[in-house]
Structure 1
Amino acid sequence: MVRAARLLPTLAVFILLLTLAIQPSHAQQLNDIRQTLADRSGSLNEIDDDLAKQPLTDKLAGQIRDQVERTLDDLNGVKDDIRRLLAPVRTQLAAMGPAPEEGQPAETGQVARERDRLNERAAELEGLLRQGDTIQARAEVVLRQLSLERSATVAAELLQRGPSPLSLEVWRKGLQEASAIASELAHRPVLWWQAARPAVVGWKPYLTVLLALIITLALGALIRHRLKARYGQRSDIETPSYPRAVMAAAIVGLTDSLIPAASAYVLLLLLHQTGLVPDESAPLARGIAMAIIFYSIVGQCARAVLAPQKPQWAIVPLDADRARKAGFHTKLLVAWLSLGTAIWIATEPFRPASAEVSMLFALLGNGITAFFLLPFLGNWLWKQEKPSESGEGENPGTSHLPLLRLFIILAVAAIPLSALFGYANLSYQIASGVVLTAILIGGLLLARTMSNAFVNAIFAPAGKGGWISNQLEITENGSQSIGFWFGLLIDFGLLLLGLPLLLLVWGVPETVIAYGAAEFMQGFTVGGMTFQPVSLFWAVVIFALALIAFRFLRKLLNQRVLSRTRLDVGARHSISAALGYVGFFIALMLAVATMGLDLSNIAIIAGALSVGIGFGLQNVVNNFVSGLLLLIERPIKVGDWIVVGGYEGTVKRISVRSTELETFDRAEVIVPNSELVSAPVVNWTHKTRIVRVTIPVGVAYGSDTRLVEKLLLDCAKDHPDVLSYPAPFVVFMAFGDSSLDFQLRVYARDTNYFITVTSDLHFAIDKAFRENNVEIPFPQRDLHVKNPERVVEVLRNGSKKQSEIPPQGSDD
């Protein structure tokens, strides 16, 4: 033990020296930082040279963008290292305080030298940090310049005018070259077969391809049958719910397109792997396979969504006739687009073609595309129901449809017209933009519908099959609120996904989209705080997950812990509510931490808002604080019978702003918490639930008062809900005007039995008095008339006049 104790200092010194040896010195770290900054500056110089020497193509723009983004990542890392080295230096300088001014005592030599050393190091690090900022700004300028130049290049290509198809010479040259291309394409299958004959390659590759194709078809057919039989558009279901119809459309679209698309892909892959496709025939094979895949996926999904043969399963607001018509024209359009896709991929070796061929392809191909798009602009698809005079049948969400239709008509008309005037690239862009936009919007709407249906299904109210709502005790209003916010989050996510794709479809260069996305991801600054979209998204997700976790923990606490204690309902509710508030606060802090906000800035903003809160929201804050006081002091609790402000009832819920009171007429009264704290409140069940019931009774004069007392006590003692202690008793209250007034005072064991005990005692007293001949008198009044003769005379005259009136129906 002594020897080990002696070795401890030596071991500590060894570990310290080893740590110092492993860690790089300050000078070495600075040299590495300078070298990295120099390398990144050199990379930007090389990029400037590349941009000056060669034209900016898509490939070059992508390479430069990747290189600049790597440079920015390296710069961010270097700047973080500089800040990490600069932080302790600034801390030491702050601890030393400001340097002494003239006339003040000078610092000691050691302190002055240490201050100079720290200031020199801080200046050096701050200079490197500014150098990194300069290089970063230069890199951002390169990205911006790259984006602008690429946008200008694309715009110039779109507006580049070629030969007009109105010239006969263009048709002659174009048709001649197109005939040569078509002849070469027609000869490709022959060359393909000659290059892949069995005598040359043997039968093994063919057997491999055939076996793989059979396995793919068998597995696809099995999966299709199983899924459609259970989740598909079944004929035996006449009125499916909308979530069920959405799921069935997804299953049918997926399974019907799975077999041909997967088979085409597997066949193409195996043909390449086995060498059965020569290089010169590869574009033709790839074009045929992509055409099959495109037709299968788009056509079958459109058919599943429209459901023309089973209109009850349609998820779009079209009747059966319009759905069948839309399905027919969609099938024609998709077939032509599939054929065009095959031709475009197969003619890849012949590009770039002459201007005359490109113009003819643009005019004929895009003109046929516009022709197949025309039926979708007819009134049969865009007609709306006429609203009635009362306003029924009017859908405010369809007011934009005429404007959208007009925009599509102009776009479709521009497809052949732009080609006719010589703008082939513009014609291609408009045609592909219209078609791909329709496919993109349809896919996003289908994804949105499926996502909302899924959210509404899992967060359905507890009484309607919602398992999560049942587990977390979420009310119907809560389920609707959760569905709304999740739907909003889904829409935001689909918007972020669809907007770049939409820009890409309409020819916006990838460089421009990437630059815009990078700028968007950097976020926006408000009051010195930077909000980034990704951080906001994760903050919302973490906040929601934390709330759900605390909600589940709160339910476990109520069911597994508090329910087994001897605490009353109000105490259990207070503990549960406190856990809910703590959970909300923790979830909020986690969300703030995820966004990376500086809490000092939040404190400043909160201080500025406190003035506005003091004037404009003082009632809200007052109610909130009062709610906390009610939960802590518990003058009232859930289940209490209270009387406040002229309202009487049972406390059902205490929230942070108000308390929900249910009257005995089943009316809900929302009482602000501040009124429960500041105003007098009668709480019948604050300390105990025992309540006194008072029954007033009057008996006739001459009744046996002791018998009355005995009968009243017997009625009280016979009731099961009347306590024996405190014992019931009878009070002889007064000699009334018409009766002898008594009061029966009993104690019911619970306030819930107040009404029933009162009613039961009334019945019992009435029965006992009848059996013992005890009379309950009516009120008695003595009337004194001052002039009885005059009253008699008036009555006689009135009777006489009444007898002189002829009876109804007489001839007089």
Structure 2
Amino acid sequence: MLCTWLSMAPLALAQGDDAAADDPIAQLAQAGKDLKQIQAAVETADTPDTLKTLSDRALAVQRDADAARNALQPELEQVDARVAQLGEVVEGTTEARDIAAQRKALNQQRSDLASAIARAKLLAGDAKQLGADIEKMRVTQFSEDLARKVNSPLSPSLWKQFAVHVPADYSRLVVLYRQGETAARKAIAEHGWGAPLTGLALALLMFFPLRLWLRAAGRRYAASERAPDGRLRRSGLAVWLLAVGTLLPGFAAVVLVAALDSIGAIPPRLQQLALHFQVATFVAAFITALSACLLVPKRPSWRLLSLDDTAAWRLRKYAWGAAGLTFLSILLVEINRASRTSEITTVAVDGLIAITYMALIVAILVSLARLHRRQTDEAQAKLDAQTDSGAKQPKAPVRRSGWIVLARLAGHVVVAAAVIATLLGYLNLALFVAQQLVWGAVVLLAASLLLKFADDLSLWLLSPTSRVGKSIVLTTGLNDAKVEQAGVLLSAVLRIGVILLAVLALTAPFGNLNAFFSAMDSLSNGLTIGTTTLKPSSVLYAVLAFLVVWAVMQAFQNWLTNTYLPKTDLDAGARNSISTVTRYLGIIAAVLWGLTALGIGFEKLALVVSALSVGIGFGLQAITQNFVSGLILLAERPVKIGDWVKLGDQEGDIKRISVRSTEIQVGDKSTLIVPNSELITKTIRNMTMGNAQGRIQIQFAVPLSTDVAAVRQILLDCYTEHVGVLAEPAPSVFIDSIANGQVAINSFAYVSGPRAVYGVRSDLYFTMLQKFAAAHIALSSPTDIHLVRDPAAPQEPQG
């Protein structure tokens, strides 16, 4: 995948630079000329390379036309704004000469810009359609090449013809070699050995000591205590080894070729060979580095695949063979093309490459079969050992490694198809199938490694225990669960990106990627909804603006809640109201900022709000009512956090007030969630509003013969001695009534708040009963009278 993107990057960068350097009008004119040249050249194109070049040029024309249109559109909007400032000419009036001249010039300028934009749109559409037609031609030609039948490699006639053409083809190769040698000698004679030797020294330095040192440094860091804990140690080290093993050899080849090309030592005929040499180096280095970081033959504990040491060593050798074969096949095909050898030689070379690929694949399949057989035998031996030891455990079927079974099945099918195609003479098909099997295995293994790394990196990076996670928690006030959820979402996004790259890399050999680039260009131009165009860059900028503003407002709210408000004289309820309002104002500001960054102005937002008002009036009426009630509660504060309220048959302490609901903690510590509209529209009793005092009432009855003065004094002494009873208002004792031989006593005292009533009253009861008992004062108990009829009594006669 990396090499695919490296090979595509120069074209994209070059096209982007050319598009940015030209004037829009001149760029549009040049794009029109290029399109006509491409249309004329398509009719005579007969090779895949030519069609690919024409497809690239058509894509460049489409990009130039889109770039010109994007550059001219703001100019047209500016002209429209200036024309709108002049206003309409009132009928029956005559404008001043200078105003009329300015209006005429602006109208002409607007007409020219509108015409140029229309031409740009038409040209982009024509270029896109031409690119699609070229792609169809290329696919048709590719299918014909795969279906082309030649002499089988087992046919003697093929090798007889090859022997006949060998002298001529050898002469062509000699000519190509001498051409390169002559260009190199001439360049060295003119410029000296400085540049080539410097390039060779840098290439060797990058390939050997620097690469080996970076690999060792990565292993030392992964084994140290500074490395992250968990799975990221292994997957991170694997990705590091993959990057070092791929980039340094590839860049060494780039440096060497650049050093030779800087003095003109590479003739034009060998330029493509030099480019393919760099690509082949990147691909071969990628395969070897991928096998090294996944198999790790010398360090089994760091191995990411479930393989034993024997299989790891064997597969490592086969990976080296696959890398070398890929490197040689790319160079041989390009040398064959550059030297213009005969078709028979091309067929023979393709046949040898296909047979070598099949032999390599068969060897890999044999190793996988042995590995599977060995794992099966080991698992069966463990089950037999458990059975012989007397353990009563059922013999479970041996679990097979899914990727090994899948790889063996795909390999057998592909090898069988390639062998049959080779025997029948379909060498192009056999070579393509064998190469794609190797390439597909490489891409899938690389994708599996990157998926593990993306998951491990995301979960570690946004872990509540990591530095980044702690910074996010302190800055935004999010809890640990939210940060972990963000890590999971980041992992999902990265995994989707890896999967898309893998699919792109798997489908790239079936054709060039210009169709994909064209679709990406169309996406980058944005989706037009009404008069608003949503571009990916605008959406990304809007998301970033929202996150930045939200983070700033969240940090301000945390400072306000934790630092400033506790130092004020405000109570907890007022602090909560200010904090809540600040939070929602921050959300509103972040949303408005994001919409502005998206290109949606306040006038468009007003239209959306007015359209939603109908739905709010019907479907969201209850939510709107609760929201407005929450704002009233936060502003007027009839109840606040910490108040003890009674709502119907429920009572408890208010713990939280939001814009939609209020949370009340009742006596059994459960939470009652009440919509805010209930607190506004219904009657509630606030027991603690206005610093209300708590009143204690004690009632009882004594016999009529009791010394009520002593009773009164005992009660007053009990109130006075208790520290929780207030001196003002003073406690009081009253005789409520005298009836049925009893005196009803009623007394009152006050405490600091309603919450203290229950506990203080209980203490007073204990003290009062003890003192009454010591003074031999008895309390009256209620008389329970039962009327019972005697069944033995004689009944009076009725008469």
Shorter-chain TM-score range:
0.7 to 0.9
Written as runs of structure 1 = structure 2, the 5 A alignment for 1:384-423 is 422-423=425-426
Distance 1:253 1:751, change over 3 A: farther
**Alpha-carbon distance in 2 for matches of 1:659, 1:460:** 32
Give deviations 1:481-518, integer Å, cap 9, x for gaps.
544554454455556655544543x4342221110111
Note the C-alpha offset of 1:777: 4.8
Written as runs of structure 1 = structure 2, the 5 A alignment for 1:56-205 is 56-94=50-88, 96=89, 99=91, 107-110=92-95, 118=103, 121-122=106-107, 125-126=110-111, 128-160=113-145, 161-163=148-150, 165=152, 168-169=155-156, 172=159
Aligned to 1:474: 478
Note the C-alpha offset of 1:704: 3.8
Report SS of the residue matched to 1:347. Answer: helix
Report SS of the residue matched to 2:664. Answer: strand
Report SS of the residue matched to 1:351. Answer: helix
Report SS of the residue matched to 2:87. Answer: helix
Give deviations 1:635-679, integer Å, cap 9, x for gaps.
222222222243322222222322222222111222112222212
State whether structure 2 residue 210 is matched by structure 1 residue 216. yes
**Alpha-carbon distance in 2 for matches of 1:370, 1:621:** 68
TM-score (norm 1): 0.73
Asked if the contact 2:202/2:252 (under 8 Å) is kept, the reply is no
Note the C-alpha offset of 1:264: 4.4
Q: Which amino acid aligns with 1:108?
A: T
Asked if the contact 2:250/2:278 (under 8 Å) is kept, the reply is no
**Alpha-carbon distance in 2 for matches of 1:283, 1:562:** 67
Of the three residues 293, 298, 301, the one matched with 1:301 is: 293
Note the C-alpha offset of 1:527: 5.0
**Alpha-carbon distance in 2 for matches of 1:44, 1:132:** 17
Distance 1:360 1:39, change over 3 A: closer
Note the C-alpha offset of 1:294: 2.5
Asked if the contact 2:72/2:113 (under 8 Å) is kept, the reply is no
Report SS of the residue matched to 2:231. Answer: helix
Report SS of the residue matched to 1:636. Answer: coil
Q: Which amino acid aligns with 2:159?
A: R
**Alpha-carbon distance in 2 for matches of 1:684, 1:627:** 20
Aligned to 2:223: 229
Asked if the contact 2:699/2:744 (under 8 Å) is kept, the reply is yes
Aligned to 1:588: 591
Written as runs of structure 1 = structure 2, the 5 A alignment for 1:440-589 is 440=443, 442-444=445-447, 446-457=449-460, 459-460=462-463, 466-479=470-483, 481-483=485-487, 485-491=489-495, 493-494=497-498, 500-504=504-508, 506-526=509-529, 528-589=531-592
Asked if the contact 1:291/1:339 (under 8 Å) is kept, the reply is no
**Alpha-carbon distance in 1 for matches of 2:231, 2:144:** 43
Residues paired across the two proteins, number: 712
**Alpha-carbon distance in 2 for matches of 1:596, 1:729:** 73
**Alpha-carbon distance in 2 for matches of 1:719, 1:744:** 15
Of the three residues 654, 659, 677, the one matched with 1:656 is: 659
Report SS of the residue matched to 1:781. Answer: coil
Report SS of the residue matched to 1:163. Answer: coil
Aligned to 2:647: 644
Aligned to 1:12: none
Report SS of the residue matched to 1:250. Answer: helix
Of the three residues 302, 312, 332, the one matched with 1:347 is: 332
**Alpha-carbon distance in 2 for matches of 1:229, 1:695:** 74
Of the three residues 362, 371, 377, the one matched with 1:371 is: 362
Give deviations 1:39-88, integer Å, cap 9, x for gaps.
55445444444545656433343244234423431232223223312322
Asked if the contact 1:165/1:421 (under 8 Å) is kept, the reply is yes
**Alpha-carbon distance in 1 for matches of 2:80, 2:140:** 47
**Alpha-carbon distance in 2 for matches of 1:618, 1:405:** 63
Asked if the contact 2:276/2:334 (under 8 Å) is kept, the reply is no
Aligned to 2:613: 610
Aligned to 1:672: 675
Asked if the contact 1:547/1:583 (under 8 Å) is kept, the reply is yes
Asked if the contact 2:365/2:408 (under 8 Å) is kept, the reply is no
State whether structure 2 residue 613 is matched by structure 1 residue 623. no
Give deviations 1:142-180, integer Å, cap 9, x for gaps.
123213312431342144224153761476369869999
The alignment yields a C-alpha RMSD, in angstroms, of 5.1
**Alpha-carbon distance in 1 for matches of 2:761, 2:294:** 71
Q: Which amino acid aligns with 1:301?
A: C
Q: Which amino acid aligns with 2:70?
A: N
Distance 1:405 1:41, change over 3 A: same
Note the C-alpha offset of 1:521: 2.2
Give deviations 1:532-567, integer Å, cap 9, x for gaps.
333223322322232222111110111221111010
Written as runs of structure 1 = structure 2, the 5 A alignment for 1:249-268 is 249-254=234-239, 256=241, 264=249
Of the three residues 217, 220, 233, the one matched with 1:248 is: 233
Note the C-alpha offset of 1:469: 2.3
Report SS of the residue matched to 2:300. Answer: coil
Give deviations 1:200-239, integer Å, cap 9, x for gaps.
9999989988877775267436623530222699xxxxxx
Q: Percent identity?
A: 21
Aligned to 1:694: 696
Asked if the contact 1:694/1:745 (under 8 Å) is kept, the reply is yes
Asked if the contact 1:302/1:330 (under 8 Å) is kept, the reply is no
Aligned to 2:321: 336
Distance 1:420 1:670, change over 3 A: farther
Report SS of the residue matched to 1:245. Answer: coil
Note the C-alpha offset of 1:141: 1.9
**Alpha-carbon distance in 2 for matches of 1:402, 1:600:** 62
Distance 1:723 1:155, change over 3 A: farther
Give deviations 1:181-202, integer Å, cap 9, x for gaps.
99999xx9xx99xx99xxx999
Distance 1:728 1:290, change over 3 A: same
Aligned to 2:5: none
**Alpha-carbon distance in 1 for matches of 2:248, 2:24:** 55
**Alpha-carbon distance in 1 for matches of 2:35, 2:277:** 43
Q: Give 5+ residue unaligned stretches, structure 1.
A: 1-31, 100-106, 234-242, 384-392, 793-812
**Alpha-carbon distance in 2 for matches of 1:636, 1:411:** 76
Note the C-alpha offset of 1:446: 4.5
**Alpha-carbon distance in 2 for matches of 1:229, 1:587:** 44
Q: Give 5+ residue unaligned stretches, structure 2.
A: 1-22, 186-191, 377-395
**Alpha-carbon distance in 1 for matches of 2:319, 2:721:** 87
**Alpha-carbon distance in 2 for matches of 1:602, 1:445:** 45
Asked if the contact 2:284/2:326 (under 8 Å) is kept, the reply is no
Distance 1:791 1:568, change over 3 A: farther
Q: Which amino acid aligns with 1:251?
A: G
Aligned to 1:785: 788
**Alpha-carbon distance in 2 for matches of 1:47, 1:528:** 35
